[in-house]
Amino acid sequence: MKKRYFFLISFVILFISAIFITQKKEPVNLTLKPRTSKISSSSEWLNTQKAIAGMEDRLRKNPNETEIKLKLARAYMQEGRVTGDHNYYDALAFKLTNEVLKADAENFEALCCKATLQASAHQFADALQTSEEAIKINPYNSFIYGVKCDALVELGKYDEAIKAGDKMVSVRPDIRSYSRISYLREIIGDYHGAIEAMKMALEAGYPGLEQTEWVRTYLGRLYEITGRLQIAEIYYQQALANRENYAPALAGLGRIEKAGKNYSKAIQLYTNAANIVQDYSCHHELALLYRLTNEKEKSGKEFQTALDLLMKHKHPTSEENGIGHNIDRELALVYTSMNENDKALNSAIAEYQRRPDNIDVNETLAWAYYNSSDYMNARIHILKALRTKSKNAGLWYKAGLIFKATHYEDLGNKYLATALKINPSLDISAFADNTNKNSLASR
């Protein structure tokens, strides 16, 4: 799932609840899963085990205690973020949060947890509604404006998102608010401003904490997508030095090695990342790498693993199963890579029906139409994807191919050239199969 939405989960931990209520519930037996061996020996893990075990024991003894339920829910969400096992830990957090809200529908802390879970599950319309409910109760809390900002971004309401981001940073300028400002600037094509804001976020963090190293890694990503790979690599290495075996940083280094055509090294890095966290994107990238090395069987297995991980989250929301995720955009990305064009298009359309104004969704749908040879619809949606003046090189490269396919040859060539100017290291291997088709279509 998208990492930036999982980012806000770690900050929920900072909330302190002081409300007690009475509920007639039986004690629950909640279990912390062991982490993978590569991230199981850190002092943080030992402290996490001790803290969560203590909270679970306290809840068993005091099943009516609201404060401990919310603390435990936040701890589970953070553990889901660290391990990638959101399906398991979000279900536990969802159950505890619902118990609190059933007894007190206006519990601010519980509403913050609920909105965070909804955003993580890509239920953005619901996350927006819940965040607005929480803001009515407490309009002076920075965190909840961050959830609202993210939900508005994903719904394509960018002007409103900027207002929410500005409100957030005015209430509390810190690592989480600066990172939101950075992403908002990235959306409108201001990479210089995005990097500046993300540096401010990094300076506001404490080295080694997961949220700080996420910021450091994303800062590296900003340098990477603007073609400055050497600087990006430095940030990824620093993140790993501060937080050993940090999967997002390993993936970042994997992309650097892939750009240098060091495919075996890239495979090793992505394999390490995939063994640490349950993240479909690592397996998706591995599938693409094995395709480049002509290892078709391995590529197919990795594609299937990516799909399996995604489908695990696609279930109805319930207290028994936890909160279900909307994963159609991610499915469309994987199906496109697999050349399963009909499935990709169906998934992209499903996501578009939920979020018709989001630029990323329109880019995904435009590319699905392009691969289905429906070039006119591809052009309609790529224009929607370009409406914020984003300078994302991958977006511009796709736009160039689509414009050429619809007989805007000069415009298409301009976009292709600009894409490579924005990021000279742009990985165009994903577009390679379509280039010949496009040249025929433009004749």
| Same domain, residue pair 292 and 377 | no
Q: Which of 297, 326, 355 is the last residue of a domain?
A: 326
Confidence (pLDDT) at 41: 61
pLDDT for position 313: 87
* Domain count of the fold of the chain: 2
Residue 74 domain flag: no
User: Is residue 377 within 8 Å of residue 342, measured between CB atoms?
Assistant: no
305 and 264 share one domain? yes
Q: Are residues 265 and 308 in the same domain?
A: yes
105 is a domain residue: no
Question: Are the C-beta atoms of 289 and 255 separated by less than 8 Å?
Answer: no
CATH number where 353 lies: 1.25.40.10
- What does the DSSP 8-state code read for residue 322? B
Residues 391 and 436 in one domain: yes
Question: Are residues 363 and 437 both part of a single domain?
Answer: yes
In a domain, 192, yes or no: no
Return the pLDDT at 432: 65
Please state, in angstroms and rounded to a whole number, the distance separating the CA atoms of residues 135 and 129: 10
Query: Which of 292, 326, 360 corresponds to the end of one domain?
Result: 326
Boundary-marking domain end, from 266, 294, 326: 326
**Do 376 and 443 belong together in one domain?**
yes
pLDDT in tens, 73-116: 999 999 998 888 888 899 999 999 999 999 999 999 999 999 99
Q: Are 89 and 76 spatial neighbours (Cβ–Cβ below 8 Å)?
A: yes
Position 37 scores a pLDDT of 65
Q: Is residue 108 part of a domain?
A: no
In which domain, by residue range, is 385 found? 340-443
Distance CA 109, CA 138 (A): 10
Is the domain of 279 the same as that of 344? Answer: no
Q: In terms of domains, do 365 and 405 share one?
A: yes
Structural domain contains residue 438: yes
Residue 432, domain member (yes or no)? yes
Domain of residue 292, CATH code: 1.25.40
Q: Tell me: do 411 and 363 sit in the same domain.
A: yes
Note the pLDDT of residue 23: 37
Q: Are residues 420 and 442 in the same domain?
A: yes
Tokens standing for residue 417: 């050239």
pLDDT at site 428: 87
In terms of domains, do 387 and 430 share one?
yes
Which residues of the chain have a pLDDT value below 70? 1-30, 37, 40-41, 432-443
Which residues neighbour 84 within 8 Å (Cβ) at sequence distance 6 or greater?
247, 276, 277, 278, 279
Q: Mark whether 393 and 353 lie in a shared domain.
A: yes
pLDDT score of 40: 64
